[in-house]
Amino acid sequence: GSCFWVAVLDGNVVGIVAARAHEADNTVELLRMSVDSRFRGKGIAKALGRKVLEFALVHNYSAVVLGTTAVKVAAHKLYESLGFRHMGSSDHYVLPGMTLSLAERLFFQVRSHRYRLQLREE
């Protein structure tokens, strides 16, 4: 129910993406998409995203979901170009394993965005 893909160009790893299945709600979560900054804007992230969508379709999942803390507009445009819909955001996201002091809670906030691409109705 889970996969990991690596984009290779001229023998070098230039991008990665992972997908984790959630059987409880029949969705696949797109995780850890990253493209080497030297190779951005060349369609690699879009190809990796499409690979996750293909995986979800082949395995009959109803939707692909993702959460991101990306602040770059390009990341959000990429998800939307793949068909994802923005489902909301939160300003109270804490990175896994991170404990925040009172001062950090007052001054350090990370906005988390949720996206969903519905593939078929359940």
Q: Where are the domains of the chain?
A: 2-118
Q: How far apart are CA 63 and CA 21, in angstroms?
A: 10
What does the mean pLDDT of the chain come to? 88
The pairing of strands 27-35 and 63-68 is parallel
Question: By the 8 A CB rule, do 87 and 122 touch?
Answer: no
Give the CB-side neighbour count of residue 41, counting CA atoms within 13 A.
2
Can you give the pTM of this predicted structure? 0.83
Higher pLDDT, 95 or 99: 99
Q: How far apart are CA 19 and CA 33, in angstroms?
A: 9
The mean pLDDT value for 37-60 works out to 96
The CATH fold assigned to 2-118 is Aminopeptidase (3.40.630)
Q: Model confidence over 56-65: pLDDT tens digits?
A: 999 999 999 9
